Amino acid sequence: PHKRQMYAEITLLPNPTPQSPALRIHTISSNMQTQLKDDLEICDWFSLQFNESTDILDTEQLAVMVRMEFSDFTVKEELLKLLPMKGMPLYKLSVITTDGAPAMMGSTNGFIALCKKKICLISLSTKKLCASKFFLFNVMNVIIKIINSIRAKPLQHALLEDVDDKQSDLILHAEVRWLSKGKVLARFLSLREEIKEFLKSTNQNFKQLEDSSWLMDLAFLADITDKLNILNLELQGKDKHVAQMIGSVKSFKAKLILWMSHMKTKSLIYFPSMKKMVCDSDFNPSLFVIRIQPLLEQFKRDFTIIEPVVAFLVNPFTSQIEVRTEEVELEILDLQNDIVLKSCATDENFWNLVDRKRFPALKNEAYKIKSYFGSTYLCKVLFSTMNFIKSKYRSRLTDAHLDYCLRTGI
């Protein structure tokens, strides 16, 4: 809404020229940058979101988004370039969110490690929810080899498309984006019989496609990655509070426990791909239960610190939290026994009603958590916009013009 008002206030240039659209975009972008600097000065806390990708010219682009929280408990999310960080009030920085790439999370030379040498902050990594140790490499390696073999040769690819199937194409797998695994496995399973026939016709022998144990691993992996894909979609979106995302993760942990209990009894109601593939003679449920357990443990580890804090701030009258300072302990007791505030517990703007002078530590923590990014979704949206703007027909677009377009386009 604030952007629409700003666009409306910008007067269109008289006597339009071919350069007019570019000049308007530059004017809008400059205005937004000025507003962003002003917002950073007046906000209480802000967090940063980092992600990197490459454009059509194979130039690496680093996207930096900022989420600011203000004294009226409102938030604003904007694009921020890395270069202007020199003048940023870093003492207000509450958290940095990345996708867990080594360049970001390296213990010595990673960006987060270098930042921590200068300032004290929390880092949230939306790292691959499926840990590498969880994925069955004996399955994925074969799948990738088959798909790459088919797609690498245009003639073979064309022959496969001749198969009369509604899903005639296979998806390439990108190792750096685990979400693609789920799509690859689902498509591979749906085309399994056609792929077997095609490989036989081209004298390519993959014994795994006849191995019932390997096929069960494939079906299991397809089912579990599909569930992770659904979770990932829940976590996406703009202006999402970190509490919503933690709620989704907490629900997923409970589902993992439920799925394991069903798996132990050989109930595959939640594993449709396995149910189609299963044979009682070669189905050992314990093999799959122990593969789900590490995933559950990883989710528990990743959110151990922040989950109880967020739970308390969302439900301060029903949640308990351990604190180490007397000041905060006393504030919690005063808050939980305040009858007036308790009557407003369900108010969406509850923390806006809390007196900052009476509860300075709690209110400050509420502001800080409100400023958190929960994922790197906005950066991914930015890169999608970048790929559209800097297409092969506009590959000579300068970095400055690309920045102007992206700032006004998201």
Whole-angstrom Cα distance, residue 380 to residue 348? 29
Provide the 10 A C-beta neighbour count for residue 346. Answer: 7
User: What is the mean predicted confidence (pLDDT) over 319-336?
Assistant: 86
Pick from 179-183, 290-294, 328-332, 402-406: least confident: 179-183
Question: What residue segments make up the domains of the chain, in order of their start?
Answer: 2-126+376-409, 137-302, 313-369
Q: Report the mean per-residue pLDDT for the chain.
A: 74
Whole-angstrom Cα distance, residue 107 to residue 391? 36
DSSP characters over 135-184: S-HHHHHHHHHHHHHHHHSHHHHHHHHTS--TT---PPP-TT-THHHHHH
pLDDT of 231 reads 86
Highest mean pLDDT among 168-177, 319-328, 349-358, 383-392: 349-358
Highest mean pLDDT among 47-61, 123-137, 188-202: 188-202
pLDDT of 164 reads 41
Q: Give tens-digit pLDDT for 263-295.
A: 999 899 999 999 888 865 567 889 899 989 988
Statement: residue 165 has pLDDT above 50: no
